[in-house]
Amino acid sequence: MKLALTSLAVLGACAALAACTPPVPDTGAADYAQFCASCHGPAGKGDGPAARGLRPPATDLTLLAQGNGGSFPRLRVMNRIDGYTMGMSDSPMPQFGQELREGPTVLFDAGDGVPTPTPARLVALTEHLERLQQ
């Protein structure tokens, strides 16, 4: 019972905090243009001018959901953008975590039901990539 009341209090505090947080402008498209389009191309197809000669080639970002059983892999995408791949990648993709941590955070639920403070720009960029899916 005590745990349930504590959990309820924490959820209430999170909701109150979220209600007081000013809306964050959608920077996803602008950050994509600045950090991603040179390799992944303006439409996310992996055909940007800097992609020529990359090995492995730049990923076609419009097919991420298709390659994940039809579900956009939000957390995996955010980890890759941030640079949190734990050495399991041979990709030449740079890490953008430092740049995207500048500014406010938002409560983001990666699908596990736990809202976690996350850089707003990282969330916005991920949502922009989700909108590019075919």
The pLDDT tens digits of the residues spanning 26-67 come to 899 999 999 999 999 999 999 999 999 888 899 999 999 999
Provide the mean pLDDT of the chain: 83
Query: Is 106:123 a contact under the CB 8 Å cutoff?
Result: yes
Query: Mean per-residue pLDDT for 55-82?
Result: 94
The residues near 45 (Cβ < 8 Å, ≥ 6 apart) are: 60, 61, 62
- Domain layout of the chain by residue ranges: 27-132
Q: Rounded to whole angstroms, what are the CA distances from 33 to 11, 54, 79, 83?
A: 36, 19, 19, 18
